[in-house]
Amino acid sequence: MQDGTALGSILVWNRIGPGGSFGELALIYFAPRAATVEATEKATVWVIDRGNFKKILAKSADELEGEYLKLLDKVELLSPLKLAGQ
């Protein structure tokens, strides 16, 4: 079945496999869900509230920023900027 395929009176827009996620835009922008999700087979679904989702997202962004700063510290061309900032 392809995205956007009609299945009876239901429009199947996407299928999400193991490890997939949905609803993140509603959590980020504090908006209502844009779609209804139904499992076609037995599944385990994990739910996370908006506050915890945003904390995890912020922590992930902070860790990524740290990695970028470590890489920039290794760029010799940028070393004069580092000294000027001290």
Q: Which tens digit of pLDDT belongs to each residue from 48-82?
A: 898 999 999 999 999 999 999 999 989 999 888 87
Q: Which of 37, 39, 40, 45 is nearest to 19 (CA)?
A: 45
The verdict on pTM exceeding 0.85 is no
Give dist(CA 85, CA 83) in Å, integer: 5
Cite the beta strand spans of the chain per DSSP E. Answer: 5-7, 10-12
Cβ-contact 57, 28 below 8 angstroms = yes
| Cβ within 8 Å of residue 32, ≥6 positions away | 26
Domain extents in the chain: 24-78
